[in-house]
Structure 1
Amino acid sequence: MLTIGGLVFLFICVFGSYLTSGGSMGPLIEAVPFEMWTIGGAALGTFLMSNSMTGVKHTLHGFGKIMKGAKFKKPDYVELLSLLFFLVRLASTKGTMALEPHIEKPAESTAFQKFPKILANHHASTIICDYLRMVGMNADDPNQIEDVMARELKKTFNEEMHPSHALQSMADALPALGIVAAVLGVIKTMSHIDQPPAVLGAMIGGALVGTFLGVLLAYGMVGPCATRLKGVVEEESTYLEVIRAVLVTHLHGNAPQVSVESGRKMVPNEHMPSFQELEEAVQAVEA
Structure 2
Amino acid sequence: MDPLSLLGVILAFAALLGGTVLEGGTLGSLINLPAVVIVIGGTLAAITLQTPSGVLRRATVLLRWVFSPPDVSMGDGVEKVVGWSMKSRKDGILGLESVAEQETEPFARKGLQLLVDGLEPETIRSMLETDLESREQGDLEAARVFESMGGYAPTIGIIGAVMGLIQVMTHLEDPAQVGTGIATAFVATIYGIALANLLCFPVASKLRSLVHYRSRYQEMMIDGLLSVLEGENPNTIELRLQGFMHR
Q: CA shift at 1:172, angstroms?
A: 1.3
- Counterpart for residue 142 of structure 2: 163
Could you list the runs of 5+ residues in structure 1 that have no partner in the other structure? 104-108, 270-287
Task: Work out whether 1:221 is the aligned partner of 2:205.
Answer: no
Distance 1:80 1:47, change over 3 A: farther
For 1:6, the equivalent position in structure 2 comes to: 8
Moved more, 77-86 or 197-206: 77-86
- Residue of structure 1 equivalent to 2:24: 22
Q: 1:235 to 1:70 in 2, by over 3 A?
A: farther
Matched position secondary structure for 1:68: coil
Residue 232 to residue 6, structure 1, CA distance change in 2 (3 Å): same
> Does residue 198 of the first structure (1) align with residue 198 of the second (2)?
no
Q: CA RMSD in A?
A: 2.7
SS in 2 for 1:267: helix
TM-score for both structures, normalised by structure 1: 0.74
Q: Which has the larger displacement, 233-242 or 36-45? A: 233-242
**In structure 2, how many angstroms separate the alpha carbons of the residues matched to 1:8 and 1:216?**
13
Q: Superposed, which structure 2 residues align to 1:10-159 within 5 Å?
A: 10-29=12-31, 31=32, 33-73=33-73, 76-86=76-86, 89=89, 94=92, 98-99=93-94, 102-103=96-97, 109=98, 111-112=99-100, 116=102, 119-130=103-114, 132=115, 136-137=118-119, 139-141=120-122, 146=125, 149-159=128-138
**Deviates further, 226-235 or 243-252:** 243-252
Q: Does the Cα contact within 8 Å between 2:77 and 2:221 map onto a contact in 1?
A: no
Task: Please say if 1:172 is aligned against 2:151.
Answer: yes
1:233 alignment partner AA: V
Change (3 A) 1:77 1:268: farther
CA distance in 2, matches of 1:267, 1:4: 26
User: Aligned in 2, Cα 1:264/1:81: closer, same or farther, shift over 3 Å?
Assistant: farther
Indicate how the Cα distance of structure 1 residues 154 and 88 shifts in structure 2: closer, same or farther if over 3 A, else same.
farther
Any conservation in 1 of the 2:128–2:222 contact (CA below 8 Å)?
yes
Could you tell me which amino acid in structure 1 is paired with residue 111 of structure 2? I
Q: Is contact 1:85–1:256 with CA below 8 Å preserved after alignment?
A: yes
User: What residue identity is the alignment partner of 1:123?
Assistant: F
Q: Give per-residue Cα distances to partners, 1:20-45, cap 9 Å, x unaligned.
A: 2211233322x2x1111011011111
| Distance in 1 separating the partners of 2:207 and 2:188 | 27
Structure 2: 5+ residue runs without aligned partners?
none
1:57 aligned counterpart, secondary structure = helix
**What displacement does 1:207 show?**
1.1
Count of aligned pairs: 245
What secondary structure sits across from 1:265 in the alignment? helix
* Residue aligned with 2:67, SS: helix
